[in-house]
Structure 1
Amino acid sequence: MDPLLLGGIVAVLTILVLFSGVSVAIGLLIVSAGFLIVFDGPRSLELMPEILFGKLDNFALLSIPMFIIMGASIASTRAGADLYEALERWLTRIPGGLVVSNLGACALFAAMSGSSPATCAAIGKMGIPEMRKRGYPDGVAAGSIAAGGTLGILIPPSVTMIVYGIATETSIGRLFLAGVIPGLLLVGLFMGWSLYSTWRSGDAARLGSGSYTWAERFEILPRVLPFLAIIIGVLYAMYGGIATPSETAAVGALLCLVIAVVIYKLWNPRDLWVVLRDSTKESVMILFIIAAAGVFSYMLSSLFITQSIAEWIGTLEVNRWVLMGAVNVFLLIAGFFLPPVAVILMAAPILLPIITTAGFDPIWFAVVLTINMEIGLISPPVGLNLYVINGIAPDISLRTILLGSLPFVACMILAIVLLCLFPGLATWLPNLVMGGAI
């Protein structure tokens, strides 16, 4: 059978299996095993356990559970509330400052936790009621938190970037650095739209209100600065050549647990157990998907699907930006239905040869891909962040939350366009810190 036709059949059956409700990892294994049996015979299954566990034989994978523990220990405390309160005290006099402080708190908490749902929950619990109380529309209050939460998978340290690095054998350090400037760009675009929408409304009730003394502003900083110091320390150790990503993640996780115990009095063994239990569950889920995706990639390569697609793309006489536009549409649609980790692990083996053949930088592409995944987090039918916000404020309809998040989706699309026009936004910092592209 023609490999391209076979690839189309694999894509359709994979989508059908995943839509059946089976877990992503199990679905990938079912599809892989089925096609290997049909085309390579039952004996091909003997290789599956070796490939499955071999994919996990990677020291860099240790950073995933460590960063997850790091985020879970922060999410289990009042760190999110303190971040929100600290920024609110400093920005309260700015017109529209409350929504700006919420977005700033989302950006900082996302950098510490690396989790979009956790960011939405932690900041939204305080931010949404406060914004509504001061007269902000429900859509602005809910949409800004939903969009701000998506920053968790772009601003380093990012588990999504780690997964991409492992799947494509790309430097994780470079990927982290590549997300810094685009992450700040998105924060700026989000804040710019929020200030504009507040100014356009002309409602004084939504302008800067509240007053804090300098003593009150400085009083809260000791509870926030230690976590920020850990993030800076982790990044410095990684980029200063002091330690590997896995080693810095382990130290960061330990320090976050210590701070959670010392500053936030997380003494109860049951609370610590919940942090470790939930972190283990999430880590196992991600690692299982990675292992299953390894088998899926082997199946695609064994049946010459990946090679044929890359060769076919190379023969097309089409502008490479038209090709990139098609790739972005594919990623957007995939992100509507599947979690970011699953999309990256399934698509990377196919897309990487395509983008490199077209002359695109895989580090730059990682950022574009991640922003596409961010859009999926606030887009139906899955739109995980939309449901998290709805759980926090059930009296705000999903339709209102979605409409409130649409301007921020436009900001993300604008960010992708700017990255296409100025790829240095993603590649300049990695090249500056770690030398020319490798």
Structure 2
Amino acid sequence: MEPLSLGAIVACATIIVLFSGISVASGLLFVAASFLIFFDGMSSLSLMPEVFFGKLDNFALLSIPMFIIMGAAISSTRAGADLYEALERWLTRVPGGLVVSNLGACALFSAMSGSSPATCAAIGKMGIPEMRKRGYPDSVAAGSIAAGGTLGILIPPSVTMIVYGIATETSIGRLFLAGVLPGLLLVSLFMAWSLYSTWASGDARVLRSTTYTWKQKIEILPRVLPFLAIILGVLYAMYGGIATPSETAAVGALMCLVIAMVIYRLWDPRQLWAVLRDSTRESVMILFIIGAAGVFSYMLSSLFITQSIAEWIGGLDTNRWVLMAAINLFLLVAGFFLPPVAVILMAAPILLPIITTAGFDPIWFAVVLTINMEIGLISPPVGLNLYVINGIAPDIKLKTILVGSLPYVGCMIVAILLLCLFPGIALWLPDFVMGTAL
């Protein structure tokens, strides 16, 4: 059978299996084993354990559970509420400052926790009732926080960037730096749209602000600055040549646990156990998907599907931007149904030779891919963040949350277009800090 035809069959089979409700890792292993047995015989199964564990034999993978522990320690405290309150107190005199402070809190908390659902829950519980009380439309109140929660997979330290770096053998340090300016760009676009929609609503109540004294502004800082200092310290250690990403992640995880215990009195052994238990569960899930995706990629390569697709794409007489548009459409649709980690592990090894052949930078492409994954988090039918917001504000209809999030999807599409026009938005900082890649 032609490899391209076989690839189409594998794609259809994978979609059917994953839509059946089976876990992503188990589904990938099942599809890979089925096709290997059918075409190469039972003897091919003897290589699957070696491929599976070989994919996990990577020192950089140690940073994943460490960063997850950082996020779990932060999410288990009042850090989100304190961060929200701090920004509200400092930005209260800015017209529409409440929505700006909510988006800023989402960006910072999602960067610290790396979890979109945790960000939506932590900031939404405080921010949504307050915005609604001051007259912000329900769509703005819910949609802004649903969109703000997606920023954690782009702004460093990002677990999805680590996964992409491992899947494509790309520098994780460069990937982290590449997400900084696009992340700030997205935050700016989100804020600009939120302020415009607030102004367009014509409700003067949203411009009213509560006055805080300097004492009230300063007294909240000791509760949030230590966590921000840890994030900055982790990035400095990483780019200052002091330690590797895995080593800095381990130190950051320990410091987050210590600060959670000292500042937020997280002394109860049951609470600490919950942090470690949840972190272990999420880490094992991600590592299981990574190992399964390695077996899936091995199957594609063994049956010459990956090579044939890359060769076919390379032979197409088409504009490279048309090709990139098609890739973006594919990623967008995949992100509607699958979690970001699964899409990256499945698609990145196949797409990498295609984009490099077309002359695109893999670091730049990582940012574009990640923004596509962000769109999936606030788009139906899965749209995890939409359901989290609906859970914490059940009186806001899911349709209203969806309508409120759609403009932010437009902001993400604008960001992708700007990255296509000005790739330096993603590439300038990595090249400036780490030198131009060869």
TM range (shorter): over 0.9
Deviation of the 1:312 alpha carbon: 0.4
Query: After the TM superposition, which of the residue ranges 272-281 and 206-215 deviates more from structure 2?
Result: 206-215
- Secondary structure of the residue that 1:210 maps to in structure 2? coil
Q: Give the aligned residue type for 1:312.
A: W
Query: After the TM superposition, which of the residue ranges 217-226 and 197-206 deviates more from structure 2?
Result: 197-206
Q: Do the aligned residues in 2 keep the contact of 1:77 with 1:264 (CA within 8 Å)?
A: yes
Gapped runs of 5+ residues in structure 2? none
- Secondary structure of the residue that 1:55 maps to in structure 2? helix
Show the 5 A alignment for 1:62-211. 62-211=62-211
Q: Give the aligned residue type for 1:391.
A: G
Query: For this pair of structures, how many residues does the alignment match?
Result: 438
Q: 1:299 and 2:304 equivalent?
A: no
Deviations 1:90-125 (A, max 9, x none): 111211110110000001101111111111111001
Deviation of the 1:202 alpha carbon: 2.1
The equivalent residue for 1:214 is 214
Q: Do the aligned residues in 2 keep the contact of 1:56 with 1:287 (CA within 8 Å)?
A: yes
Instruction: Give me the whole-angstrom Cα distance separating, in 1, the residues matched to 2:379 and 2:194.
Output: 19
Q: Give the aligned residue type for 2:178.
A: A
- Secondary structure of the residue that 2:241 maps to in structure 1? coil
The equivalent residue for 1:16 is 16
Instruction: Give me the whole-angstrom Cα distance separating, in 2, the residues matched to 1:393 and 1:121.
Output: 10
Q: Do the aligned residues in 2 keep the contact of 1:313 with 1:354 (CA within 8 Å)?
A: yes
Deviations 1:36-78 (A, max 9, x none): 0011111000000111111100000000000000000000000
Instruction: Give me the whole-angstrom Cα distance separating, in 2, the residues matched to 1:303 and 1:241.
Output: 41
Q: Do the aligned residues in 1 keep the contact of 2:332 with 2:375 (CA within 8 Å)?
A: yes
Q: Do the aligned residues in 1 keep the contact of 2:261 with 2:267 (CA within 8 Å)?
A: yes
Taking structure 2 as the reference length, what is the TM-score of the superposition? Answer: 0.99
Show the 5 A alignment for 1:309-388. 309-388=309-388
Q: Do the aligned residues in 1 keep the contact of 2:182 with 2:425 (CA within 8 Å)?
A: yes
Q: Give the aligned residue type for 1:305.
A: I
Instruction: Give me the whole-angstrom Cα distance separating, in 1, the residues matched to 2:210 and 2:98.
Output: 10
Q: Do the aligned residues in 2 keep the contact of 1:117 with 1:385 (CA within 8 Å)?
A: yes
Q: Do the aligned residues in 2 keep the contact of 1:332 with 1:376 (CA within 8 Å)?
A: yes
Q: Do the aligned residues in 1 keep the contact of 2:134 with 2:208 (CA within 8 Å)?
A: no
Q: Do the aligned residues in 1 keep the contact of 2:140 with 2:198 (CA within 8 Å)?
A: no
Instruction: Give me the whole-angstrom Cα distance separating, in 1, the residues matched to 2:203 and 2:94.
Output: 14
Deviations 1:357-394 (A, max 9, x none): 10000000000000000000000000000010011001
Deviation of the 1:208 alpha carbon: 3.5
Deviations 1:5-57 (A, max 9, x none): 00000000000000000000000000000000011111000000111111100
Taking structure 1 as the reference length, what is the TM-score of the superposition? Answer: 0.99
Q: Do the aligned residues in 1 keep the contact of 2:132 with 2:141 (CA within 8 Å)?
A: yes
Instruction: Give me the whole-angstrom Cα distance separating, in 2, the residues matched to 1:194 and 1:143.
Output: 9
Deviations 1:380-433 (A, max 9, x none): 000000010011001111100000001111000000000000000000100110
> What is the identity percentage for the equivalent residue pairs of Structure 1 and Structure 2?
85
The equivalent residue for 2:433 is 433
Q: Which runs of 4+ in 1 moved over 3 A?
A: none
Deviation of the 1:157 alpha carbon: 0.2
Instruction: Give me the whole-angstrom Cα distance separating, in 2, the residues matched to 1:365 and 1:208.
Output: 42
Deviation of the 1:437 alpha carbon: 1.2
Deviation of the 1:214 alpha carbon: 0.8
Instruction: Give me the whole-angstrom Cα distance separating, in 1, the residues matched to 2:240 and 2:36.
Output: 45
Instruction: Give me the whole-angstrom Cα distance separating, in 2, the residues matched to 1:156 and 1:208.
Output: 34
